[in-house]
Amino acid sequence: MTDKVVGILGGGQLGRMLAASASLLNIKTVILDVGEHGPAKQVVAPLSSHHAHIDGSFSDPAKIKELAAKVDVLTVEIEHVDADALAQAGCAVHPSPSTIKLIQDKFAQKQHLHARGCPISPFISVESTVESIHAAAASLGLPLMLKSRTLAYDGRGNFVLRDISQAQEALTALGNRPLYAEKWVSFTHEIAVMVVRSTSGEVRAYPVVETVHKENICHLVFAPLRSRDTTLSQRAQSVAMDAIKTFDGAGVFGVEMFLMEDGALFINEIAPRPHNSGHYTIEACETSQYENHLRAILSLPLGSTELKVSSCAMLNIIGLSSSMDDIKALTDVALTVPGASTHLYGKSECRKGRKMGHITVVAPSDAQLRSRLRILLAALPSSPIEETDLYAPNPPVPGSGFSNAHPLVGVIMGSDSDLPVMLPAARILDHFEIPYELTIVSAHRTPDRLVEYARSAAPRGLRVVIAGAGGAAHLPGMVAAMTALPVIGVPVKGSSLDGVDSLHSIVQMPRGIPVATVAINNGTNAGLLAVRILAAGNPKLVAAMDAYLKNLETEVLGKVDRLAEVGWEQYKVAK
């Protein structure tokens, strides 16, 4: 490992999680921040007075020098530090002070990204005058996003100019600080990617997440992103990695992006440090953003950024007032939610809008994740998060019936006449307590619905589709052609050919697109096959399937006994 000591500028929650991560690897940290008992200082007890934390501002050049004298590497939990003082600290600093300085000034950051071909929305410089704002509005149109160049976060320092008459109001609200203007982009979603960059310039991207902001504050993060655009994740990771390659220095960087209706991506802004949208990595990824930040700044090998769970969300615990009561109520509920891990930052005072902690929820599927999140949201009566935020960007397909609002299996059939054959599949899923949806999708009579259903299946969180059809029976194969999910086909017996027509139509798929075909009219087996597929990697479901098989055996052995007891002449076959 390493004997190097890390100095952290800033002792809030990011410093706390960074220091806790360092402790796992027995890496020593020293914290610089005002106060003796801030969040980060609580979790590191210095081994000696030489490694004692420093009480002082992370913007004070003298204190930065004092910290640098105690450590081997300096890093930051916040970008609003004195970058010039960092440059003269006299020890290694990551990310580099020039990068921190560049990112501090959002206008300079945009200029940098623009010059290097990174996708950003149009922006221009604005003087702190009404006239200059009018000129910007004339150039970029209304509404116009006015932003403070520096010291802005969580929406502070932003003003949306909807009418040019608001120019003076904007100047007052933004405190006459240096400004710039961005063209208003009507994005459909906000997404983010954490990127880790090593001292040698190697970059690795974490999974793309969807961030749900309300009033400019991030409330909820979903990982991984689900989209019916199968290229989106890879594109977003590339944009993020390309952007981070343009900056000097090592560490993790948060890249926030806007996703447009047409699939285009714009970088919104970049944070040169661990980021709120990466908290989920502690419980959900093979290496957390904090450990990877440490590895990067210490020139250790970067860790895997892969998810280790199927589905994850992170809910910020945001103060509603100066009272801790709401926080307690929420965290009490969180203790009852399976897969929920509560993080409280040890802040001594609560206030409206303050991030007091977060809750990460992991689950074996999107369906279970949403069910678990719902319990938390019910404990947040005044939360701005809405029901639709739980589904975005993948709303349910209209008309589907659900055994549960968050289905894992889609059971579809070409016609209502197939229902008697398909109901046993639903009964099996009920038996194994697997949430499903059930509806009619006709390949020939509702072709648009077929496309919509198949393309949306995976991003909506379905894991398996069971499709039943008779006659020409194109439904299972056509669905399989439009999704990467496993599709189970049930041949339904029609009025002629005894179902052999459907069987051959479903099973004889061309090379490249398989359909998992079960016996004619055997909806039961389709349900059981779906359970076997879902059980791969789910020990509980494997045990349930083992029990089911054992039960089949017991049933037949019961008949063995009855046949021996009653005698074959008297034996009556149960209907």
In the range 102-131, which residues lie near a second copy by CB under 8 A? none
Q: To 5 degrees, how large is the angle CA 237–CA 243–CA 249?
A: 115
Q: Of residues 121, 289, 310, 403, which one binds a second copy by CB under 8 A?
A: 310
The β-bridge partners of 93 are 74
In the numeric block, which tokens belong to residue 86? 């960092």
Q: How far is CA 366 from CA 159, 306, 311, 391, 422, in A?
A: 36, 17, 6, 10, 24
426/518 with CB nearer a second copy: 518
Residue 230 C-beta: closest distance to a second copy, Å: 4
- Cβ burial, residue 318 (10 Å; 0-12/13-18/19+): buried
Query: Based on CB atoms, which residue is closest to a second copy, 99 or 502?
Result: 502
Among 50, 156, 162, 308, binds a second copy (CB under 8 A): 308
Which one, of 399, 317, 410, 404, lies nearest residue 358 by Cα? Answer: 317
Closest distance to a second copy from the beta carbon of 513 (Å): 7
Is 124 or 379 the residue whose CB approaches a second copy more closely? Answer: 379
Between 398 and 510, whose beta carbon lies closer to a second copy?
Answer: 510
Q: Which of 165, 539, 554, 568 binds a second copy (CB under 8 A)?
A: 539
- Given strand 123-126, what is the order of strands in its sheet? 123-126, 179-183, 144-148, 158-161
149 vs 226 by CB, closer to a second copy? 226
CB closer to a second copy, 188 vs 336? 336
Q: Which of 45, 378, 497, 563 binds a second copy (CB under 8 A)?
A: 45
Selected from 6, 18, 20, 236, the binder of a second copy by CB under 8 A is 20
Site string for a second copy, 23-42 (x = CB under 8 A): xxxx----------x---xx
Q: Quick check: 474 binds a second copy (CB under 8 A)?
A: no
* CB neighbours of residue 224 within 10 Å: 19
With tokens 């619905």, the residue in question is 449
How many whole angstroms separate alpha carbon 377 and alpha carbon 139?
Answer: 42
Given candidates 12, 364, 471, 476, which one binds a second copy under the rule CB under 8 A? Answer: 364
For 373, list phi and psi in degrees, rounded to 5: -60, -40
Confirm or reject binding of residue 574 to a second copy (CB under 8 A).
no
Interacting span for a second copy (CB under 8 A) from 56-64, 252-260, 302-310, 449-457? 302-310
Nearest approach in angstroms of CB 449 to a second copy is: 21
Q: Which of 9, 171, 421, 528 binds a second copy (CB under 8 A)?
A: 528
Asked whether position 14 contacts a second copy by CB under 8 A, the answer is: no
- Cα distance between residue 10 and residue 179, in whole Å: 26
- Residue 359 touching a second copy (CB under 8 A): no
Q: Does 4 bind a second copy (CB under 8 A)?
A: no
Query: Residue 537: CB partners within 8 Å, gap ≥ 6?
Result: none
How many amino acids of this chain bind a second copy (CB under 8 A)?
A: 97
Stretch that binds a second copy, among 98-106, 158-166, 410-418, 523-531 (CB under 8 A): 523-531
| Of 115, 536, 560, 573, the one binding a second copy by CB under 8 A | 536
148-156, 243-251, 264-272, 529-537 -> range binding a second copy (CB under 8 A)? 529-537
Please, are residues 71 and 91 in contact by the beta-carbon 8 Å criterion?
yes
- Identity of the residue, 93 or 528, whose beta carbon is nearer to a second copy in the bound complex: 528
Min separation Cβ 8 and a second copy, Å:
14
What is the C-alpha separation between 151 and 118, in angstroms, rounded? 23
* One residue of 108, 164, 379, 509 binding a second copy per CB under 8 A: 509
Give, as ranges, the residues between 440 and 459 that touch a second copy (CB under 8 A). Answer: 458
Binding a second copy by CB under 8 A: which of 15, 254, 339, 494? 339
Contact status: 540 vs a second copy (CB under 8 A): yes
Find where tokens 């659900």 sit: 402
Q: Which stretch binds a second copy (CB under 8 A): 78-86, 110-118, 342-350, 377-385?
A: 342-350
Query: DSSP assignment of 452-520, as one string?
Result: HHHHHHTTTT--EEEEEEETT--HHHHHHHT-SS-EEEEEEP-SSGGGHHHHHHHH-PPTT---EE--T
Helices first, then strands: H and E counts in the chain: 19, 24
* 497 forms part of the interface with a second copy (CB under 8 A): no
Judged by CB under 8 A, does residue 427 bind a second copy?
no
Residues 195-254 that bind a second copy (CB under 8 A): 207, 224, 230, 233-234
Beta bridge partners of 192: 209, 256
Euclidean distance between CA atoms 96 and 247, whole angstroms: 9
Binding of residue 413 to a second copy (CB under 8 A): no
Q: Which of 332, 386, 416, 430 binds a second copy (CB under 8 A)?
A: 332
Determine contact, residues 490/425, Cβ cutoff 8 Å: yes
Residues 143-202 that bind a second copy (CB under 8 A): none
Task: Indicate the residue among 120 and 284 with the shorter CB distance to a second copy.
Answer: 284
Q: Which of 163, 160, 245, 241 is nearest to 208 (CA)?
A: 241
**111: its two tokens:** 């200029």
Q: Which of 88, 139, 188, 304 binds a second copy (CB under 8 A)?
A: 304
State in angstroms the smallest separation of the CB of 178 from a second copy.
38
Within 281-300, which residues bind a second copy (CB under 8 A)? 283, 286-287, 291, 295, 300
Can residue 325 be called a binding residue for a second copy (CB under 8 A)?
no
Q: Which is nearer to a second copy, 224 or 470 (CB)?
A: 224
Is residue 309 close enough to count as binding a second copy by CB under 8 A?
yes
Contacts 24+ apart (CB under 8 A), 151-155: 151/80, 151/177, 152/106, 154/216, 154/217, 154/218, 154/353, 155/215, 155/216, 155/217
Question: What string of DSSP letters covers 114-165?
Answer: HHTT-----EEEE-SSHHHHHHHHHHH-SSEEEEESSS--TTTTEEEE-SGG
With beta carbons less than 8 A apart as the criterion, state whether 312 and 321 touch: no
- Is the preceding omega at residue 143 within 30 degrees of 0, hence cis? yes
Contacts to a second copy from residues 71-100, by CB under 8 A:
none
